[in-house]
Structures are given as C-alpha cells and as structure tokens.
Amino acid sequence: MPKPLLLGCIADDFTGATDLANNLVRAGMRVVQTIGVPNAPLSAEVDAVVVALKSRTIAPQEAVAQSLQALEWLQSQGAQQIYFKYCSTFDSTAQGNIGPVSEALMQALETDFTIATPAFPDNGRTVFKGYLFVGDVLLNESGMQHHPLTPMTDANLVRVMQAQCKSKVGLLGHKTIAQGALAIQQEITNLKQQGVRIAVVDAVSNDDLMRLGPALKGMPLVTAGSGVAIGLPQNFGLLPTPQASVLPTASGLQAIISGSCSQATNRQVAQFKDSGRPAFLINPLQLKGSWQDLVQDALAWAQGHLASGPVLVYSTATPESVHAVQSQLGVEAAGHQVEQALAAIAAGLVQLGVAQLVVAGGETSGACVQALGVDQLQIGPQIDPGVPWCHAHTPSGGLHITLKSGNFGTDDFFTKAFTTLSQQP
C-alpha cells in the first residue's frame, strides 16, 4: 500500500497541469499527472498528483462537478492538502470558473479560508496591490483583453474574483508578504475576522512565494497558478533534489510528432531538418477521405529510418499555409483530421518500437495521449521551462514522452530533448 499523498492538485487544463507538475518536481516532489480523474488507485508511490481536467471554459456547474470528482479521488488517496491550479493570466469568464470551483472545493473541504494568486514571477506574472501584471503591462493591456474565450478586461483580481464569488474576497498585500510567514498568518487571522473568505495575494518575486509557502502549511485548500507550488514542498520536509525527477532508464527508438504551427515549433522543425535528420511532411489536403493511407505511408517511411536515430513526422506549417488549408477544409475539420492522423502515426510508431517520443502542440498532445492509451504520466527532468520528460505505461509497454505546448522550447528542442533524457542519472 503506497504512502498517502502529500499534495493533491486539480488543474483546469492539460498543459497547465504539466506546468504545475514541473514546478513541484523542481521543488523536490515526485509527481504523477493524470489525464482526467483516474478510475483506479495510484500505481506508483509519489508525493503529489496533478489531475488534469479540461474545465477552464466549460459551464461553471460542469467545472464544479468535475473538480469535486477529482477532489473525491484525491481524498481517497489520502491527499493532505488540495491545490486548485488555474492559468497565470487568471483565464476565466464573468461566470467563472475560478470562483465557483474555489468555493465548491472550500465547501467540500469544510474550510472557511483560502488564497488566490496567479503570480509566477519566473514567467513575468506578478501581482501587486491586487493587480496582475503580464511582463511590464497590466493584464488588460497584455493582449489577454482580446482572448477569444476568456477576454480579461480588468487587471484587478479582487474585483474579478469577487464578481465570480458569493464569499467576500479581500487582499493580502505585498507589505505583509514582505514581512514573512508570521506576519502573513497574522494578517490571515485579521482578514478572517473581517469576513474575508478568499484573499488575493500579492507576489512580485520568487522570494515572495518562498515567504508565502510556510504560511500556507496546513491550509486545506490553496488556489493559485503554478508559481505558488515552489514554496510548498518545504512544508512537507522536502527540498529540491534531482532524485525527484528520475525516470526509468530510457531505451527504444526515438521519434517526434509535430502538429503545432506556432512560431517556436516552426523554428524547431526547420532546425531539425537543417541538421540533416529525416523528416516526413503530412499535407492536410491529402488527408481528405482515406487518411489511413497517408498514415501507412508515414509509418513505412519511418521504418526505414528509425534505426539510425530520431525521425520527425510533422504537419507544422506557416500561418499562410495553415490559412489556405483551413479555407479549403474548414478550421475545425482541418484541425481534427490532422490531429487524428498524427495520433494514429504516434500509436503506429510505438508499435514499431519507438519508446522515446516528443509531441509538439497542445491539442496534438491531447490526441496522441488518447490514442496511446496513456492516462498517467510520471514527471521527470525538465528539457526547457515548462516542458519535462514524462514516463507512462501504455498497453505496449513503458514509454518516455514529452508534450510540448506550442511556443515553448528553444530552436534545438527536438535534438536537445533526447540528449536531456540520455543524461539523466
């Protein structure tokens, strides 16, 4: 029987879950990320689990229901503290879902106080006097005011959160944070006496987050972006150690699947091809009708190259080319067909003996993970900020996999990834 979990996390989207898991590993915790709420107990002994939901923009009552289901499972695994993770730009609509989910978790945990802060100074997200900055500008001047699903037009998080909550929302200001854990705990007592149930917390540096961490010891629920995670493992007596990120030794053939069309991925594909490594282009216009043929062609091609090193199968294209495809196939149909084809190729490559797989693209990752039958990922060493190697058990055996969201990673990411994995202790 594995030891009870220290930290149980609920993330409102998939790549956000990986981001949090990565921060926890770097702070010394052994972490598994699950895709959705598992229907079985944990198989490995870890310190934290991050349950990845897709609840950011669904209806609030559905987001609440899924989050409560995740909570129930985490509690059944003995989780000592719960962490609700949302985006570092506080992505939410006027209805939620950050507020409603936070309040529902508080009620289920029978707790009358929690914090809320998306601060993640390493990524330029800072909160001061309750206002969220993205780099040097306020949230509502950062481009996020134009987001298609969650336009953020107010940078004052106390106001934003209050509009989503029935409970009273207050501010735990920087003056207090700068004084350390004792002062923070005192201020929490004061805020509670004033009837505040959720306090937005200022933090402008990692030092602030490290001062906040000890004050959160024993708090049943923490709600935050991934930044706050760096200060929590110390509360459980854990310190940063490379041991937390050790995965089983990698073996098997190497491949890259790329369905991301973001600028960074375009550069990564170009650099991989320039280095002389083999690459196979999936042209979405050829996918109409019998896309299975193209999948078979790609796999037959890969079979001829895999023995001599990593191969790349990609649909990555420039914005103009994507636009041309979308105007012929339709935006959704193009995306879906490419995802299905790349996911089938990923599954076929694993059948051919690929056991080290890089996947580029958030949606592409979702489709590949599903096709591979992966539902739990053990988080390993970081390749680039926000992108760790992971290890999964698939019906075909052990698999090392990394899921890179669009704009992450340096230009040499595709080759660097395999070097990072081979160098782990």
- Contact segment (CB under 6 A) with ligand ADP among 119-127, 143-151, 335-343, 345-353 equals 335-343
For residues 209 and 203, is the Cβ–Cβ distance under 8 A? yes
Least separation in angstroms between residue 294's CB and ligand ADP is: 13
Question: In this structure, what token pair is assigned to residue 145?
Answer: 């005011």
Task: State yes or no: residue 361 binds ligand ADP (CB under 6 A).
Answer: yes
Q: Taking CB under 6 A as the rule, does residue 338 contact ligand ADP?
A: yes
Query: Counting contacts by CB under 6 A, is residue 363 touching ligand ADP?
Result: yes
Alpha helix ranges (H) inside 119-180: 157-164, 174-177
| Residue in the structure block whose two tokens are 């196939």 | 329
Shortest distance, position 378 Cβ to ligand ADP, whole Å: 22
Question: What tokens appear for 168 in the block?
Answer: 């009273």
| 76 phi, psi to nearest 5 deg | -65, -20
- Nearest C-alpha neighbor of 26 from the set 323, 284, 383, 421: 383
Binding flag, residue 259, ligand ADP (CB under 6 A):
yes
Q: Is 368 in the site for ligand ADP (CB under 6 A)?
A: no
Contacts to ligand ADP from residues 265-304, by CB under 6 A: 265, 284
CB nearer ligand ADP, residue 102 or residue 405 = 405
For residues 239 and 384, is the Cβ–Cβ distance under 8 A? Answer: no
Map residues 302-331 to x or -, x wherever contact with ligand ADP holds by CB under 6 A: -------------x-x----x--xx-----
* Helices 291-305 and 331-351: angle between axes, nearest 10 degrees: 40
Question: Binding to ligand ADP by residue 380, rule CB under 6 A?
Answer: no
Euclidean distance between CA atoms 229 and 116, whole angstroms:
13
User: Which residues on adjacent β-strands are paired with residue 222?
Assistant: 83
DSSP category for residue 364: H
Helix (H, G, I), strand (E, B) or coil at 28: coil
Of residues 97-116, which lie at the interface with ligand ADP (CB under 6 A)? none
**Rounded (10°) angle between helices 263-274 and 413-422:** 70
- Is the CB of 67 or the CB of 266 nearer to ligand ADP? 266
Q: How many residues belong to the site for ligand ADP (CB under 6 A)?
A: 21
Question: Distance (Å, rounded) from C-alpha 188 to C-alpha 176?
Answer: 10
Q: Is 343 in the site for ligand ADP (CB under 6 A)?
A: no
Residue closer to ligand ADP by CB (options 152, 322) is 322
Q: How far is the CB of 95 from ligand ADP (least distance, A)?
A: 25
Q: Quote the CA–CA distance of 355 and 353 in Å, as a whole number.
A: 6
CB closer to ligand ADP, 154 vs 297: 297
Residues 6+ apart with CB under 8 A from 15: 362, 365, 386, 403, 405
Q: Which span (77-85, 144-152, 253-261, 290-298) binds ligand ADP, by CB under 6 A? A: 253-261
Q: Rule CB under 6 A: choose which of 67, 89, 164, 364 binds ligand ADP.
A: 364
Chain residues that interact with ligand ADP, rule: CB under 6 A: 259-262, 265, 284, 315, 317, 322, 325-326, 334-335, 338-339, 361-364, 405-406
